[in-house]
Amino acid sequence: AVEAWSDESDHGSESDSDEDALVASIEAKKRASAEKVKVAAEAKKREREKVAARAKALEEYQDQKRQEDEVERARVEERRRLGEQRKQQQMQSEREKRDQLRVQQLREAERIRLQQQAQLAAQAEA
């Protein structure tokens, strides 16, 4: 009976050590799995941060581009406005020159008419 009991206790301790090994194996697997989950979560977090950084950089680029486009549109509008203003001034100047020429022609015609009138009056007296 003692032999049987000692055999059972041997089996029991083997069983205990098998159970301990099994528990240790399960715990190691759990730790490895938890580590994998942690590593995957960190990788996802880094990827999200990269995506957010790219999105921010794109937004900043688009804002800068929009500002540059607005400045360019303002420059183009200013050039167009100045060109229109120069054109108006040139047209006004041309009108004034034509008007001055017309006044000169009218004065010359009036002078010639008066001169002819004076010659006719002188001939009539003579």
Task: Give the tens place of pLDDT for each residue, 38-67.
Answer: 999 999 999 999 999 999 999 999 999 999
Q: What six digits make up the tokens of 107?
A: 């004065």
Q: What six digits make up the tokens of 42?
A: 């960190």
12 pLDDT above the threshold of 60: no
Q: What six digits make up the tokens of 16?
A: 């205990």
Q: What six digits make up the tokens of 13?
A: 């301790």
Question: What's the predicted TM-score (pTM) here?
Answer: 0.48
